[in-house]
Amino acid sequence: MPDFTPNTHTWSRLKAALSVACEDADLSDAEKVYAECGQQHPLLWEECILPHRMKRCVKIGEGTFGEVFSTVNTSGDTVALKIIPVEGSEIVNGEDQKTFGEILHEIIISKELSSLKEKQQNQTHSFIGLRDLHCVRGCYPPDFLNAWDRFDQQKGSENDRPDFFENDQLFIILEFEFGGIDLENSNGTMASLVVAKSILHQVTAALAVAEEELQFEHRDLHWGNVLVKTTKLKTWSFLLNGVTHSVETKGVLVRIIDYSLSRLAIDDLTVSCDISKDEELFMGQGDYQFDIYRLMRQENGNNWSNFHPHTNVLWLHYLCSKLLSMKYRGPGGRGAKDTREELTRFYDNVLQYSSATEALKNCPMFQ
């Protein structure tokens, strides 16, 4: 369960922070979610996703939480729809459905990180942009089921086919900008280790900005949660404590996604997910990712509400190991050997830093 049961005072402050007009602070979790969606009650699927948009949907990803589809928005831009069943009694992909209280945690963090692109002191575009938010009721639409089947035939799905939901099932639809392809599925497609170095720099900078502005910890930054897309921009800028910095893109832009385990603070209110009793999460074997969950717990003493920015450094260490082990299209020219050595030095030394901010400021690779 999330560590998120705001009393009247903190909820009203949070509402101010999230600029959602709301006079009555004594709302149920359902009403809070509807308010975040700009709705009074759940709508029908086709009221939120118009039929021509449904027809163009393609499944692009999945998790135990639910499904991710791409489609176009009213402006013709590609967007990603993260569709999460909530509040129902049906077991989905082996898990209980999220409650409104739990989904509120992800909505709030998604909004806060998306709005970092507009901040005056600490600004970044590297967290996925949240474009829209809906709460819908009803069975899974046929167009989405067809897209689900195509994905299953081509790639194989680990999820249950979402055809068992009844007419009264509720879903939250988070509509994000299209951020590209995740690192795991980019293996073998990126040009060289020079690109990997830029990716690591962009991720570190984004985490530093969020640490400074929001006391943010991602807590689940595995290579499926880092998206990359090609860009013609040569450099990419961010603001850290009022100072503008830039990174060479090497032809890619990073977007960080999935905040279901994340933690941040707005004013004096902490929004976090208490995973202290989720034993299964800490029992994984076979990849460094699973060690990171145990290392985080070791560092925070299984208290998930306090700020421990070194967890971001643990994930940078993990991401560096993945980037070093990935395959690349080309040798990367004369600089490739030097870049591999730089990344290896980063891997050997990054854990000494107390936060992503400290790593960004002091790590030789970023100077």
Q: Concatenate the DSSP letters of all residues of 231-255 into one string.
A: -S-SEEEEEETTEEEEEE-TTEEEE
CA end-to-end span of the chain: 41
CB 350 within 8 A of CB 364: no
CA proximity to 18, closest of 83, 80, 110: 110
Rounded CA gap, 142 and 124, in Å?
38
Q: How far is C-alpha 331 from the chain's CA centre?
A: 31
220 part of the active site: yes
Structure tokens at 205: 């900078």
Q: How far is C-alpha 52 from the chain's CA centre?
A: 27
Q: Is 82 annotated as a binding residue?
A: yes
CB 170 within 8 A of CB 42: yes
CA torsion 231-233-239-245 (nearest 10°) is 120
Rounded CA gap, 162 and 148, in Å?
8
Q: Out of 96, 143, 182, 220, pick the active-site residue.
A: 220
56 Ramachandran zone, left/alpha/beta (phi>0; psi -120 to 50): alpha
> Active-site residue numbers?
220
Task: Indicate the annotated binding residues.
Answer: 82
Task: Indicate the annotated binding residues for ATP.
Answer: 82
